[in-house]
């Protein structure tokens, strides 16, 4: 079919969420999304003059993208304050800078709010402490990616692919040192400087260009004022 010259095409994506369990109810959620999608398409084509006579539906995704699922609790729970205040942790092993983009709980089922209208923007970057990357009660378990120890709002920023990727590199480096010292993830804490240097010098994933091998503290490495330094003490969760 020849496309009209006023529209090259586009992508329609839906957000939906409810009280369902994203894992066990996955297929039901998929069915609801498909039903909603064809309802929207029916409206576009038949529900009024939308100028869509020559539009065609070329492709429909059948695997819903899961935005949020299980997160594990570590020795530190990163929250939105850490992010919005550009917190710099002494045991930082990763950093992020994406906005806190909270999606509306029920997606398109909430008729009063924009599905992704609750975004909080901020300047600068924040760090993620090593303590958010291992379980607080399973002694030999690391987390990496979207399942790290963060609150719902904290997760809204840390979930971004780049942040997940360099966090994964940090965890891989930490696992190397756990093997070297024959210790659990938590027991690696005294070796945090070695871990940070390893991430920097071997993986080049942690503040490339800004860190040097000779620096010893995160504060120095980041060259940020003391007032922006976060406490390294554990937060009870």
Ligand X SMILES: Cc1cc2nc3c(=O)[nH]c(=O)nc-3n(C[C@H](O)[C@H](O)[C@H](O)COP(=O)(O)OP(=O)(O)OC[C@H]3O[C@@H](n4cnc5c(N)ncnc54)[C@H](O)[C@@H]3O)c2cc1C
Rule CB under 6 A: which residues touch ligand X?
Answer: 65-67, 145-146, 159-161, 164
Closest distance to ligand X from the beta carbon of 68 (Å) = 8
Which residue lies nearer to ligand X by CB, 14 or 79?
14
Closest distance to ligand X from the beta carbon of 229 (Å) = 27
Which residue lies nearer to ligand X by CB, 97 or 145?
145
What is the number of the residue whose Cβ is closest to ligand X?
A: 145
SS3 content of the chain, % helix, strand, coil (to 5): 35, 10, 55
Closest distance to ligand X from the beta carbon of 61 (Å) = 9
Task: Yes or no: say if 188 and 199 are a contact pair by the CB < 8 Å rule.
Answer: no
Closest distance to ligand X from the beta carbon of 66 (Å) = 6
Contacts of residue 134, defined as CB under 8 A and 6 or more positions apart, other chains included, come to: 74, 75, 141, 142, 143, 174, 184, 185, 186
Which residue lies nearer to ligand X by CB, 164 or 175?
164
Contacts of residue 24, defined as CB under 8 A and 6 or more positions apart, other chains included, come to: none
Q: How far is CA 227 from CA 91, 206, 220, in A?
A: 17, 22, 13
Which residue lies nearer to ligand X by CB, 150 or 199?
150
Closest distance to ligand X from the beta carbon of 155 (Å) = 9
Which residue lies nearer to ligand X by CB, 108 or 183?
108
Task: Yes or no: say if 56 and 199 are a contact pair by the CB < 8 Å rule.
Answer: no
Nearest CA to 136 among 73, 70, 71? 73
């Amino acid at each position: 079919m020849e496309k009209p010259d006023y529209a090259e095409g586009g992508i329609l994506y839906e957000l939906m969420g409810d009280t369902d369990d994203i894992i066990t109810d996955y297929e039901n959620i998929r069915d609801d999304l498909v039903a909603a999608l064809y309802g929207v398409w029916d409206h576009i084509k038949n529900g009024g003059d939308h100028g869509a006579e020559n539009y065609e539906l070329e492709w429909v995704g059948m695997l819903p993208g899961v935005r949020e699922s299980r997160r594990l609790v570590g020795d530190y729970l990163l929250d939105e304050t850490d992010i919005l205040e550009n917190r710099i942790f002494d045991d930082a092993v990763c950093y992020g800078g994406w906005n806190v983009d909270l999606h509306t709980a029920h997606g398109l089922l909430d008729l009063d709010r924009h599905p992704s209208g609750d975004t909080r923007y901020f300047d600068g970057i924040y760090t993620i402490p090593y303590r958010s990357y291992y379980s607080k009660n399973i002694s030999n378990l690391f987390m990496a990616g979207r399942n790290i120890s963060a609150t719902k709002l904290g997760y809204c920023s840390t979930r971004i692919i780049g942040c997940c990727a360099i966090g994964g590199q940090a965890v891989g480096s930490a696992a190397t040192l756990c093997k070297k010292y024959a210790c659990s993830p938590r027991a690696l804490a005294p070796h945090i400087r070695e871990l940070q240097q390893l991430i920097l010098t071997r993986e080049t994933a942690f503040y490339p260009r800004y860190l040097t091998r000779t620096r010893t503290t995160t504060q120095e490495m980041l060259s940020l004022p003391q007032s922006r330094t976060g406490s390294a003490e554990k937060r009870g969760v």
